[in-house]
Structure 1
C-alpha cells in the first residue's frame, strides 16, 4: 500500500515581515532566471510575499494551506504581461520554502 506524503509544517513565524522580504527577493530571483526578467515580476513577487506574510501572521504553518492560499488569491492578479500564472507562482513559493528548510523536493522524498 502506498503511504501518503506527510504534511510539511513550517516552524512558527518569529518575524513574518522578514520572511516576506526573503520570499519576495528569492521569488523575484527565481522569476528572473526562469524566463526573461520583466518588470511585472517585481509585482508578482511582492503580491505573493504579501499573501504569504498575512497567512503566516494569521498562524498558518501548513505548506499545503499556504500554497493553496497563494493559488487562490493570485487568481485576481493580472498575469497577461507575464509568462507565469498563479499555479507556477504557488509552486515556486513552495519549492523555495522547501529548499530553505533543507527538504529534498525530488520524488516526494
Structure 2
C-alpha cells in the first residue's frame, strides 16, 4: 500500500467517533426535525407554540424535540410550567447553513 495513503488512513477518527458522527447526521435526515430547527433559528419556543406554528401535533413536536435534545442540538429552560427550547449552540446553525449552501450549488 502507498505510504501516503497509509499515513492518511492512520489519521482517520476511531470507529466510535465515526459512529457518533454518522448518528448525528442521521438526526438531520428528517425534514420534521429540520423544520423545528429552522423555527428555533428565529426564537426559542415552547412545544405548544412550535406545534401551532408548524401545524403539527404537540406529541409529534415533543417526540422530535426529545431526539434533538438527546443529540445535543437543542437545549431547554423552564419558565414556570412552560419549557422553552432553543438551539444548543451556533454549530447547529452552521451545519444547516453549510448544508443549504451545498444543495444550492450548481
The verdict on a shared fold, with TM-score over 0.5 as the criterion, is: no
Q: What's the TM-score, normalizing by structure 2?
A: 0.29
**Which is richer in strand?**
2
Q: Which has the larger radius of gyration?
A: 2
Q: Whose relative contact order is higher, 1 or 2, with alpha carbons under 8 Å and at least 6 apart?
A: 1
Q: What's the TM-score, normalizing by structure 1?
A: 0.28
